[in-house]
Structure 1
């Protein structure tokens, strides 16, 4: 009789527990207790956030935290935020083994704040396009349309809007020929073209990715002319950053020659 009472006690206890759990009401983020949910409730993860799923069984929260940390980019890839990079093969970017997207658009991961402007100035150093005569010719027209009216056809800040008989102009446009601007990184110009600066509005919606960089090349050529230096497809004596196309062609020829000589040697060995 006692054994039956104990058994009945346990049966009633178990039934009571199941009854209590079965009466759990679901909340905003809790489904309650379910017997065989059959994936009726999916786990909704928020994008671009770090969230640890408490029912996870493959590792600890610390393991997951390590997994979501940024890693060193894979060799040969372009890191996020690298605006000096363009993808694939193409004539204008063949020296880097990269080419533009069909619509000429490229992402820009710097916001319109002073801190981000400084970051862009420090990060963006090299012009991804080589110096070419065709590029400078194209950029001359673009510069005269969008830039010259304020900055002047020589880049000295004496454009049409600030002419002597043109009335008062609130702010003197930047003079690109000063030592400060000549020493500035390409990122200063690129960020300014995207967002503008002071009274100058941005031109990111008017100039494509390549056009922006070609305009920067043209500004550099004006700076070189003011210093009686050369900035062309053949030579660049203004700085050590921007690369003339002729220099790249020499490197390509040298590389091709080395490859050809190796092939020739192999054929002789055969």
Structure 2
């Protein structure tokens, strides 16, 4: 009987000792791991916890993540847009730009395909073929373009788009040591450049500049281009605004020059009844869909 007690005590002590650990950060062996040791809490780290099954090939350091941001999952809806399956109402028609002859259709998630590759020959082709800015010049759009330019472009190209950004201009920043001179977007070369040259650069980047297709939406890219054109016009002594465009008529259409279309839109919105969604998910009567949506 005493032997049995001794065996039980010895086994119990052995289990207790085995469950302990000299590592103060470890709880030792656990029958059921605590929720505090969730694998998600150690994401992108390797072997911080014995039950974390990350391997070296599937982990990334913070430095790698900051230098090489991964693209969003295919089909991700950009912020500020809503996915819409059907154009089921006049209100949605106005939002999607389908009730105005001067408007253009935008896909429900605010994204439009781009069929030019990231190489020099495609860059030249896009420069030659992409001429018109599909959005009219408006004060609201110009304001949005200015805001986005300040966020994504101004740090290198400068507030005036003259290439003297904070990272490069020693007068504005005594510690500026950026060796590559950013492009002077208000120079004669860029004043004469087509809209396609700017759009392609925004999509893929150029030289040390990275692409911004994953950061700003289709419409936002064009509003940034409008704002750059306004800076070019100011440099050249012209006007590029919602009221008039004396800089270059090929670069943008002033929104104020479309009053008839604006009035027509208002009339349609007042008179149009609610549309019933089609049974099979096809276009509603009178609705036209176009695949010609790349610029």
Q: What is the alpha-carbon root mean square deviation over aligned residues?
A: 2.3
Moved over 3 A (4+): 88-97, 250-256
CA contact (8 A) 2:241 2:254 kept: yes
Q: Following TM superposition, by how much is the alpha carbon of 1:229 offset from its aligned partner in structure 2, in angstroms?
A: 1.1
Confirm whether residue 197 of structure 1 aligns to residue 191 of structure 2.
no
1:126 aligns with 132
| Structure with more relative contact order (C-alpha pairs < 8 Å, separation 6 or more) | 2
Q: Following TM superposition, by how much is the alpha carbon of 1:98 offset from its aligned partner in structure 2, in angstroms?
A: 2.5
Q: Following TM superposition, by how much is the alpha carbon of 1:170 offset from its aligned partner in structure 2, in angstroms?
A: 2.1
Alpha-carbon distance between aligned partners in 2 of 1:153 and 1:104, rounded to the nearest angstrom: 28
1:127-166, aligned counterparts within 5 Å? 127-164=133-170, 165-166=174-175
Q: Following TM superposition, by how much is the alpha carbon of 1:102 offset from its aligned partner in structure 2, in angstroms?
A: 2.2
Gapped regions of structure 1 (runs ≥ 5)? 1-87, 257-270
Cα distance 1:90–1:251, how it changes in 2: closer, same or farther (>3 A)? closer
Q: How many residue pairs were aligned?
A: 170
Cα distance 1:90–1:185, how it changes in 2: closer, same or farther (>3 A)? farther
1:82-231, aligned counterparts within 5 Å? 90=94, 93=97, 94-164=100-170, 165-231=174-240
CA contact (8 A) 1:90 1:98 kept: no
Alpha-carbon distance between aligned partners in 1 of 2:255 and 2:216, rounded to the nearest angstrom: 22
C-alpha distance after superposition, 1:137-164 (max 9, x if no partner): 0111100000000001111011110120
- TM-score of the two chains, using structure 1 as the length reference: 0.59
Gapped regions of structure 2 (runs ≥ 5)? 1-86, 88-92, 267-295
Alpha-carbon distance between aligned partners in 1 of 2:196 and 2:214, rounded to the nearest angstrom: 18
CA contact (8 A) 1:95 1:248 kept: no
C-alpha distance after superposition, 1:225-252 (max 9, x if no partner): 1122111100001101110001112466
Alpha-carbon distance between aligned partners in 1 of 2:96 and 2:245, rounded to the nearest angstrom: 18
Alpha-carbon distance between aligned partners in 2 of 1:237 and 1:170, rounded to the nearest angstrom: 36
Cα distance 1:244–1:114, how it changes in 2: closer, same or farther (>3 A)? same
2:258 is paired with a residue whose SS is: helix
2:292 aligns with none
- TM-score of the two chains, using structure 2 as the length reference: 0.54
Alpha-carbon distance between aligned partners in 2 of 1:117 and 1:161, rounded to the nearest angstrom: 27
Confirm whether residue 233 of structure 1 aligns to residue 239 of structure 2.
no
1:13-28, aligned counterparts within 5 Å? none
CA contact (8 A) 1:90 1:99 kept: no
C-alpha distance after superposition, 1:186-234 (max 9, x if no partner): 0000000000000000000001000000000000000111122111100
Alpha-carbon distance between aligned partners in 2 of 1:195 and 1:92, rounded to the nearest angstrom: 27
Structure number with the higher helix fraction is: 1
1:39 aligns with none
Q: Following TM superposition, by how much is the alpha carbon of 1:103 offset from its aligned partner in structure 2, in angstroms?
A: 1.4
Alpha-carbon distance between aligned partners in 2 of 1:172 and 1:145, rounded to the nearest angstrom: 19
1:245 counterpart (250, 255, 258): 255
Higher Rg of the two aligned structures? 1
